[in-house]
């Protein structure tokens, strides 16, 4: 168990490998049924993308993907993510059951499988996530919340997904925001780059990256800082290139010290040309109060739009309590589309 195949009374759980096209296709079918039911606005995975992800794993992570079959038919998936260099007590997972096969005990069987992987790897903190309904947003299927509560998880850290429709961006609003941000950002200059980080900025990036977990709101989630240094940043860049991911970054450098004080990133994937993600924005605590978060986001968006005219929407997730980042996103025109709830259980 813990890796290969688990056969229950009726369920077979098969771990995906890059050369097993049939299992990848079955995993895709189950995942696609759930996506259409839960988050139809999300960009779909494709079998080709799954193969790429399996072939090029991130360093410091053991990511195990499985499809659940009943009588040869894909009915769900269970994916497990094990950090291997930090967060060594943690296991995060995704369990999804095709809506046509719910309330038949499949979810519980998949959770039993997760528990067996946790035991095999000595993990005692389990984390997952599910849809959440929020006032003013379309109602979501809250089966995940009921399942989490029924299986001993506590809810932590709600997050909201926001989307910017690029055709409806208000240029005058962005120009005003930019002017008022610059008014407070004297003594900083901007740097912009695409994909690999220039040599003189990579240590600053690693430093800011390692701060993310300690600085961003995490609710009660037990998350430790991840390993981040020059070598690791370079390894990650290589994986992203291999996976077909492209990144646009803008940073703010403090002129007096030459220190990288803030950065942000927008990413796209070559197989989903209409879609982009606004990723993290980090401002060093020593440099807050200068509108650097707003500045780098706006300038990054400007560069991105000029270079990626085919992209129609940019999505982002924020912890519901991250009022500073949400205020910036709201001003830029990002609008809430759905919400998610994080879950945690200590064994």
Binding site for ligand COA (CB under 6 A): 34, 38, 95-97, 102-108, 128, 130-131, 143-144, 146-148, 150, 343
CB of 6 to ligand COA, least distance (A): 16
Tokens standing for residue 250: 């803008």
CA angle 157, 228, 307 (to 5 degrees): 80
* Spatial separation of the C-alpha atoms in residues 171 and 129, rounded to whole Å: 35
Contact 65, 15 (CB under 8 A): yes
Tokens standing for residue 100: 């046509």
Beta-carbon contacts of 311 under 8 Å, excluding residues fewer than 6 positions away, are 166, 268, 273, 274, 275, 276, 304, 305
CB of 73 to ligand COA, least distance (A): 14
Contact 118, 134 (CB under 8 A): no
Name the residue with the smallest CB distance to ligand COA: 144
Contact 331, 181 (CB under 8 A): no
Choose between 10 and 104: whose C-beta lies nearer to ligand COA. Answer: 104
CB of 75 to ligand COA, least distance (A): 8
CB of 95 to ligand COA, least distance (A): 5
CB of 30 to ligand COA, least distance (A): 9
CB of 180 to ligand COA, least distance (A): 41
Choose between 9 and 306: whose C-beta lies nearer to ligand COA. Answer: 9
Choose between 70 and 269: whose C-beta lies nearer to ligand COA. Answer: 70
List the one residue out of 201, 123, 162, 216 whose CA is nearest residue 335: 162
List the one residue out of 69, 111, 109, 118 whose CA is nearest residue 94: 111
Choose between 71 and 286: whose C-beta lies nearer to ligand COA. Answer: 71
The DSSP result for 305-317, as a single string, is HHH-TT--EEEEE
CB of 222 to ligand COA, least distance (A): 16
Choose between 14 and 128: whose C-beta lies nearer to ligand COA. Answer: 128
Backbone angle region of 48, left / alpha / beta, with phi > 0 → left and psi within -120 to 50 → alpha? alpha
Choose between 105 and 336: whose C-beta lies nearer to ligand COA. Answer: 105
Choose between 76 and 83: whose C-beta lies nearer to ligand COA. Answer: 76
Q: Give the CB-side neighbour count of residue 204, counting CA atoms within 13 A.
A: 22
The DSSP result for 109-159, as a single string, is HHHHHHHHHHHHTT--EEEEEEEE--TTS----THHHHHHHHTT-EEEEEE
CB of 103 to ligand COA, least distance (A): 5
Choose between 14 and 130: whose C-beta lies nearer to ligand COA. Answer: 130
């Amino acid at each position: 168990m813990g890796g290969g195949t688990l056969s229950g009374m009726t369920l077979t759980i098969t771990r995906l490998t890059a050369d097993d096209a049939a299992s990848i296709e079955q995993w895709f079918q189950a995942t696609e049924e759930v996506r259409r039911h839960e988050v139809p606005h999300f960009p779909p995975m494709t079998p080709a993308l799954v193969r790429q992800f399996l072939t090029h794993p991130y360093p410091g992570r053991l990511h195990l993907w499985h499809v659940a079959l009943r009588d040869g038919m894909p009915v769900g998936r269970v994916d497990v993510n094990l950090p291997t260099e930090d967060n060594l007590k943690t296991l995060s997972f995704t369990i999804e059951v095709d809506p046509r096969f719910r309330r038949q005990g499949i979810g519980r069987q998949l959770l039993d499988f997760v528990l067996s992987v946790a035991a095999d790897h000595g993990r005692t903190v389990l984390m997952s996530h599910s849809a959440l309904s929020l006032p003013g947003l379309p109602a979501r299927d809250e089966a995940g919340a009921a399942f989490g509560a029924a299986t001993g998880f506590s809810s932590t850290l709600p997050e909201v997904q926001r989307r910017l429709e690029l055709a409806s961006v208000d240029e005058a609003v962005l120009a005003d925001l930019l002017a008022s941000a610059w008014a407070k950002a004297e003594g900083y200059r901007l740097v912009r780059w695409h994909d690999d980080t220039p040599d003189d900025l990579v240590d600053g990036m690693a430093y800011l990256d390692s701060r993310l977990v300690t600085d961003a709101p995490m609710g009660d989630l037990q998350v430790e800082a991840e390993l981040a240094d020059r070598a690791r940043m370079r390894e990650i860049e290589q994986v992203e290139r291999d996976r077909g991911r492209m990144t646009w970054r803008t940073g703010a450098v403090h002129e007096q010290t030459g220190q990288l004080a803030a950065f942000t990133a927008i990413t796209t994937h070559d197989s989903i040309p209409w879609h982009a993600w606004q990723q993290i924005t980090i401002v060093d605590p020593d440099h807050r109060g200068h509108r650097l978060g707003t500045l780098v986001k706006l300038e990054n968006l400007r560069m991105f739009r000029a270079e990626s005219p085919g992209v129609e929407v940019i999505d982002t997730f924020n912890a519901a309590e991250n009022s500073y980042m949400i205020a910036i996103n709201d001003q830029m025109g990002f609008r809430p589309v759905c919400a998610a709830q994080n879950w945690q259980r200590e064994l």
